[in-house]
Amino acid sequence: MQEVTTKKKEFTPNIVAFCCNWCSYAGADLAGSSRLSYPANVKIIRVPCSCRVNPTFVLKAFQQGADGVILCGCHPGDCHYVTGNYYTRRRMALLFNFLNYMGIEKERTRVEWVSAAEGQRFSAVMNDFVKTITELGENKRLTDLRVKEGE
């Protein structure tokens, strides 16, 4: 008879990072070319502006198995489209508060401003976020159980 192993897999979080094309994505690029490391479980999605991120994107990321979602954009005042990140700021403040109201841990969601010159900061932010999520554990509250099947 075959032995059933119930070895617990070590938890490695799945992180989705929405990075704006003009600042944070370039910041990530700089982190790379400066040979700074950040965890490989951060999946970067490039968006034209942080304001492009529809709240549904964040929810969809969680649905598809993300354990944490982080939004990176230009510092307020530096938006390539002048005001985009100001709208992001309000929108995400409300959305993240609301998710918390529904019982989703506040730490799972984050907004950080990273400029194109801040490769160091990008790496630090990602390391810190992955650490937070690893401590927090798996996202079980806002996920579609069907995507976890077969794992």
Residues that bind another protein (CB under 8 A): 55-56, 59, 63, 76-77, 83, 86-87, 89-106, 109-112, 141-146
Work out how close the CB of 57 gets to another protein at its nearest, in angstroms, rounded to a whole number.
Answer: 11
Question: What Rg value do the Cα atoms of the chain yield, rounded?
Answer: 17
Give the residue with the Cβ less far from another protein, 85 or 123. 85
In whole angstroms, how far apart are CA 67 and each of 31, 85, 100, 116?
23, 24, 14, 26
Work out how close the CB of 38 gets to another protein at its nearest, in angstroms, rounded to a whole number.
Answer: 19
Give the residue with the Cβ less far from another protein, 88 or 123. 88
Work out how close the CB of 62 gets to another protein at its nearest, in angstroms, rounded to a whole number.
Answer: 9
* Terminal CA-CA length for the chain: 23
Supply the DSSP symbol for 65: T
Work out how close the CB of 150 gets to another protein at its nearest, in angstroms, rounded to a whole number.
Answer: 15
Give the residue with the Cβ less far from another protein, 86 or 124. 86
Give the residue with the Cβ less far from another protein, 25 or 91. 91
Work out how close the CB of 52 gets to another protein at its nearest, in angstroms, rounded to a whole number.
Answer: 15
Task: Give helix 24-33 / helix 119-136 axis angle, nearest 10°.
Answer: 100
Rounded Cα gap, residues 144 and 123, in angstroms: 30
Give the residue with the Cβ less far from another protein, 61 or 116. 61
The length of the chain, given as a count of residues: 151
Q: Which of 94, 95, 74 is nearest to 85 (CA)?
A: 74
